Amino acid sequence: MGVVVVRPAVYFNQPGGLARYVADFNRELALTRQRQSEGCKTLDASAYLPAPLAEALLRHGLDEGKRAFGSLGLTIIKDAKVFGAPLADTGHPDGFIAIGSIACQSSAGHPVGCVTVKGPGPRIAPYARLLHEAMARVPAAVDDE
């Protein structure tokens, strides 16, 4: 498991903000895949702590949320036909989104997939619309490849 924490708000209203965000996210993702990101190093180091101390460290990081693990959790498991978002009693105040494979087909032949969103109702209420808007843009990008 790896954690990529990039704060999109840092890039808002800056020249080239989107390009810098994408570059920084991709760099952090590459470091995470190699288990070289700061988040991975912290999680790996916590594995050597006694269980009560490791739990305290992780709970503190989750309670501090935005700094250690971000305010929104997102996981994509591209080969999972069905997957449910985890939900704990702490962390991710803006919710958690889990996306599985979109390789399944509807009876009409369109791709379908599994998306699970969990979190505080008022906070996650707009996510379905936002995800729908994002997915509506995908076919145009896929058709161009």
Distance CA 20, CA 120 (A): 30
Q: Which of 22-26, 100-104, 138-142 has the highest mean pLDDT?
A: 22-26
Structure tokens belonging to residue 19: 């390009």
Place of tokens 């840092």: 10
pLDDT tens per residue, range 8-38: 888 888 898 889 989 998 998 899 889 888 8
pLDDT of 119 above 60: yes
pLDDT at 53: 92
Residues linked to residue 115 through DSSP beta bridges, in sequence order: 99
Q: Is the predicted pLDDT of residue 141 greater than 70, yes or no?
A: no
pLDDT at res. 87: 65
Give the per-residue pLDDT at 145: 45
Percentage of the chain beyond pLDDT 90 is: 14
Quick check: 4 and 32 in contact, CB under 8 A?
yes
pTM over 0.75: no
